[in-house]
Structure formats: structure tokens, C-alpha cells
Amino acid sequence: MPAFRSSDSHLGVRSARRPLRALLAASLFLLAACASAATPRPTSPPDSTGSLVAPATATPAPSPSASPAFPTTLTGDDGTSVTLAAAPGHIVSLTPAETEVLFALGAGSRVVGKVEDIANFPPEAKDVPVVGTYSGIDVEKIIGLGTDLVIAGGSGGTPQDAIDKLRSLKIPVLVVYASDVGGTLADIALTGSAVGKSAEATALANSMQAGFDQVAAATKGATAPRVFYETGDQPAIYGIADNSVYAQMITLAGGTPITTGSATNWEMSIEKLVTANPDLIILGDSAYGVTADAVAKRPGWSGLAAVKAKAIKPINDIIVTRPGPRLVDGLRLLVAAIHPEVVLPSAAPDGSPAASGS
């Protein structure tokens, strides 16, 4: 999560409010820690059934091949239905993953606004006006663009206030929230239905599924090393929570994830880490300047198997976890880190999903 543009200055100098102020300072710390992790970090929703690994045979949502695609009523991941009278021509994407999905599905030319994306992907989306940042969504700008569909992130990805506001102004807002690989494929199908690109969505999901299957086949039977995936090192060490998409991805890549033991807590106690003794440390926070050398020098870490074996590898965290078309690429990165001996076919069967947009 990028840091809040925050200030507690308005909570100011009054002594009577010092506790609140101190608390804010502390929470800023916490946020900064999260910030160093990565962009969207979906966690499992509380009611998740905990099925960590998507069934290998999971098919993306049934393709509504039966034509007239519009009008259509779709149910977003927040349970709210959205009715679209016609194929939307002015789409605003409020999650970086959805921006990638829309471009991959060939709907990029209809994207009139997007949320800021630190990865700036895909390059074709570079010139799309930014209507939202982590600090807020510019509803006025969205209205001014003549938007007829907003795709927003669920579970706090897009501020609920902004979603409510847009809906009160009669703008259809489709909320997507993928907590795992299966959810990502389902959201791609949902997006396809919303923008009139169902066939493309089905094809993309199928190709991604094929990519997952390919990886599963390649890593089958290999021993699963214990992997600690670091998501932040300030002020404490942050790892990955139980049942998070990270844990699922590492499992799919043929590793055994070391998690914090809680579905909500991302802070990793050093004692627990030493006890778990990872064979491999993957630095999801490498984009924030954390290096293998620095990790090896941390007090108390020298005894870890991974440190002794110099198995500390940086990774592009965004590709590993962004619930979009490049998730397969992310999985391949993880396989390369966890099982360097496994040789994957150089590309997915019918071309890289990310490049499949037409």
C-alpha cells in the first residue's frame, strides 16, 4: 500500500489530545510498513472457506456465449448488482489490476480514467487520465469524463465513500475483489461481461488456467522448500498472512509458505521465523531497497538455512500478486526463484497472456 499522504497536524498541539496523536503516529508507522509491501495485497475475506489452492480444474465463470450481451445485470464481488443497458463506452478503472484486465481484453480504448499505478502497466495505459490515487478518488473528474461504468476494488481497495458517492449519482459501479487465483479468473470473466468482451475474457482465463496447469505439471513431485516471502522490513519484519494470495501462489509454485500464523496479522516474529527456518527467502520488498546482503547481516538471521545457503532472492512483488492477467507471469517468477532447476516452456501455449490483448 502506498503511504497515506497523512498528517496529524490537525490533531495538533493540544495536550489533552496527545494520546490520540501518539496513536496516529504509531499507526503511521504501521501504514508505512504496509506501504513497503506492495500495491494491492488482498487478504482473505473473513468468511473465506479457506480453500487455498484453486482446484486445478477450476473453470472460469461459464461464458455467456448466448448473445445479446446487453442489457445485462451483473453482481459484483460486494454483492451489489449493476445493470448495464448497453456496452459501456467510457470506463473508469479504479484498480491497477482491472486496468491491466481491460487492456488485455481489448477494451483499452474505452478506458477514460484510471487509478494511479506505480508500475505503469500496460504501457498503452500511460496516457489515460488519472482520476484517483491512494489518497482519494476524484469523483468530479469521473463525472466530467462522462463515465458510464466504474470498476472499483472491493474490501477497501477503493474507498467505500467514493463507491457510495458514485452510486448515488447513478454511475454504475462494479466492485471486484479477488482474494485468490480462482477469484482473479472469475473477475476477469465478470469484467468481460461488463464491457462486452466475454469471449475474450474466456480465452484469457483459459490461457491463464493453462499456464497454471503447466506450472503445476512442471513442479509436480519436486520437494517443496520452506519459503519465507518478505513483504516489508520497517519497522518490523513483515511476511505473509495465512490464506493470503501469496501463500496460495507459493504453494502453486511448489514451495511451502511460512506464514505468520494469522489471517490478519502480517508481522513476522523473528523467533517464529528462526523456528520455521526457511530454505529460501524471497524479497517482495526489494523494490524498497532491501537487499540480500542487508538481510544476511540482520542480527540473528545468520543461522537460517536460507542465509547459510545464500538463498535470498529479490522478486517483482507487483507481478506476483496483482490479481490480473500477469498472475501467471508472477507464478513463473516464483517458480524461477523456488525451483530454478525446473525448466518451464519459454512462454505460455498461446502467447503471453499479458500480450494477448487485441
Partner 1 sequence: MATRQDAVPLRTLGVMRHPLSRRPVALAGAGVVALILALLAGVGIGSVAVAPGDTIAIVAHRLFGLDLGAHWSAAAETIVWDLRLPRVLEAMAVGLGLAVAGATFQGLLRNPLADPYVLGTASGAALGAAIAVLIPIRIVFLEFGLLQGFAFLGALGSIAAVYRLARVGGTSPMTSLLLTGYALGSLLAAGLAMAMYLSGTALRQIFSYLLGSFDSASWGRLAGAAPIILVASLLIALRSRSLNGLLLGEETAAHLGIEVRRERAILLALASLVTAAAVAVSGLIGFIGLVVPHVVRLVVGPNARLVLPLSALGGAVLLSVADLVARSLGEVPVGVVTAVIGAPFFLLILRRTQRGYEL
CB 21, CB 61: distance < 8 Å: no
Closer to partner 1 by Cβ: residue 157 or 192: 157
Closer to partner 1 by Cβ: residue 27 or 51: 27
Number of chain positions touching partner 1 (CB under 8 A): 49
Q: Which helix (H) or strand (E) holds 149?
A: strand 149-153
Closer to partner 1 by Cβ: residue 14 or 310: 14
The rounded distance, in Å, linking the Cα atoms of 92 and 205 is: 22
CB 180, CB 245: distance < 8 Å: yes
Closer to partner 1 by Cβ: residue 28 or 210: 28
CB 229, CB 282: distance < 8 Å: yes
From candidates 25, 56, 144, 294, binder to partner 1 by CB under 8 A? 144
CB 259, CB 334: distance < 8 Å: no
From candidates 64, 89, 106, 159, binder to partner 1 by CB under 8 A? 159
Rg (CA), the chain: 21
Q: How far is the CB of 112 from partner 1 (least distance, A)?
A: 12
Q: Which stretch binds partner 1 (CB under 8 A): 9-17, 66-74, 100-108, 227-235?
A: 9-17
Closer to partner 1 by Cβ: residue 24 or 74: 24
Query: Could you say whether residue 19 binds partner 1 (CB under 8 A)?
Result: yes
Q: Which stretch binds partner 1 (CB under 8 A): 54-62, 161-169, 314-322, 345-353?
A: 161-169
Report the SS3 class of residue 90: coil
Q: How far is the CB of 4 from partner 1 (least distance, A)?
A: 6
Q: How far is the CB of 12 from partner 1 (least distance, A)?
A: 5
The rounded distance, in Å, linking the Cα atoms of 68 and 70 is: 6
| Partners of 150 in the β-ladder | 92, 173
Query: Could you say whether residue 165 binds partner 1 (CB under 8 A)?
Result: yes
Closer to partner 1 by Cβ: residue 187 or 200: 187
Closer to partner 1 by Cβ: residue 4 or 288: 4
Closer to partner 1 by Cβ: residue 169 or 347: 169
- What nine digits make up the cell of 9? 497536524
CB 282, CB 256: distance < 8 Å: no
From candidates 164, 213, 340, 351, binder to partner 1 by CB under 8 A? 164
Q: Rounded to the nearest 5 degrees, what angle is found at the Cα of 172, between the Cα atoms of 60 and 194?
A: 25
Query: Could you say whether residue 27 binds partner 1 (CB under 8 A)?
Result: yes
- What nine digits make up the cell of 338? 523456488
Q: Which residues contact 298 (CB under 8 A, 6 or more apart)?
A: none
DSSP string, 254-293: T-EE---SSSS--B--HHHHHHH--SEEEETTGGGT--HH
CB 312, CB 340: distance < 8 Å: no
155: alpha, beta or left? (left if phi > 0; alpha if psi -120 to 50): left
Give the per-residue contact string, 257-286, with partner 1 (x = CB under 8 A; - = no).
Answer: -------x----------------------
Q: Which stretch binds partner 1 (CB under 8 A): 159-167, 230-238, 253-261, 294-302?
A: 159-167
From candidates 36, 43, 184, 259, binder to partner 1 by CB under 8 A? 43
Q: Which residues are near partner 1 by CB under 8 A? A: 1, 4-17, 19-20, 22-24, 26-27, 30-31, 43, 46, 133, 135-141, 143-144, 146, 155-157, 159-162, 164-165, 168-169, 264
